[in-house]
Amino acid sequence: MKTAQAASQFFATESIPIIIFEFGLNLLLAALLAWVLEFFYVRYGRALSDRRAFARNFMLITTTTMIIISIVKSSLALSLGLVGALSIVRFRAAIKEPEELAYLFLAIAIGLGLGANQRVVTVLGVAVILFLLTVRAIFSRDSSDHNLFARIKSGSGSSLSPERIVELLKKHCSMVKLRRLDCQAEQVEALCLVELENFENLSRLKDELKKEDMEASISFIENQGFV
């Protein structure tokens, strides 16, 4: 009985005061690292979605995580309460590519590290990770950086199939990589990374596509145009 009362009193009273100066310093550092991560992701990310819009979430995620960890680490009771609260929370953000999830984890890791007051380890870890990613991005650059994204959308009720779209692209492009395919009830939309040798091939591709489907639309976007 006494043991239970002692444990209850411990959970109710055990609390570590938060030093406001350290909290403010960690919060500013979290915002700074999140801004660096946002700039890096926009510059070196490979996701086809709007990287700039997605990266705007990093600062909010990082600082929020840091605040939560700073609060719950001051009390064991709050920590246990957080476990219960997270059990009923569902993360339903639309993650289309693994790269987006990886950067989200890095943003959360920054918040966790600074919330635990581990400034040196967090800054060093982020610096090493971003350095390695920069080196990989520099040495992995190839001719695909100068290629185009071809977005082809069939007309309503068209018989243009995904196989035929890829066949037409391969006929006039020296390189074709299918990146995304959306098939609806009456329409097909394909997004491909292509390499064109000259603009004559582009004109021939457009003409031949129109012969297959007069209502089809085709647009070419520069490789970095999704930023």
pLDDT the model gives residue 145: 46
DSSP letter for each residue of 183-218: E-SS-EEEEEEEE-S-HHHHHHHHHHHHHH-TT-EE
Pick the CATH number of 143-222 from 3.40.50.300, 3.30.70.120, 3.30.60.50, 1.10.287.890: 3.30.70.120
d(CA 67, CA 130): 24
Residues contacting residue 211 through CB under 8 Å, at least 6 positions apart: none
Residues in the chain: 227
DSSP letter for each residue of 78-112: HHHHHHHHHTT--------SHHHHHHHHHHHHHHH
Q: Average pLDDT, whole number, for the chain?
A: 77
Between 192 and 82, the more confident residue is 192
Other CB atoms within 10 Å distance of the CB of residue 189: 16
What is the per-residue pLDDT across 42-69, written as a single tens digit (0 to 9) for each?
888 777 667 888 888 899 989 988 888 8
What is the per-residue pLDDT across 166-195, written as a single tens digit (0 to 9) for each?
888 888 887 888 878 888 777 888 888 887
Rounded mean pLDDT, 16-29: 85
What pTM, to 2 d.p., does this model score? 0.58
- Helices 199-212 and 162-172: crossing angle in degrees, nearest 10, is 150
* CA nearest neighbour of 36 among 16, 20, 58: 58
Residues contacting residue 122 through CB under 8 Å, at least 6 positions apart: 33, 109, 110, 113, 114
Q: Range(s) for CATH 3.30.70.120 in the chain?
A: 143-222
Rounded mean pLDDT, 150-162: 77
Rounded mean pLDDT, 159-166: 80
pLDDT the model gives residue 227: 44
**What is the largest distance, in Å, between two alpha-carbon atoms of the chain?**
88
Is the model's pLDDT at 215 over the cut of 50? Answer: yes
Three-class secondary structure of residue 75 per DSSP: strand
Rounded mean pLDDT, 121-132: 94
Is the model's pLDDT at 196 over the cut of 60? Answer: yes
Q: What strand order describes the sheet that includes 217-222?
A: 175-183, 188-195, 148-153, 217-222
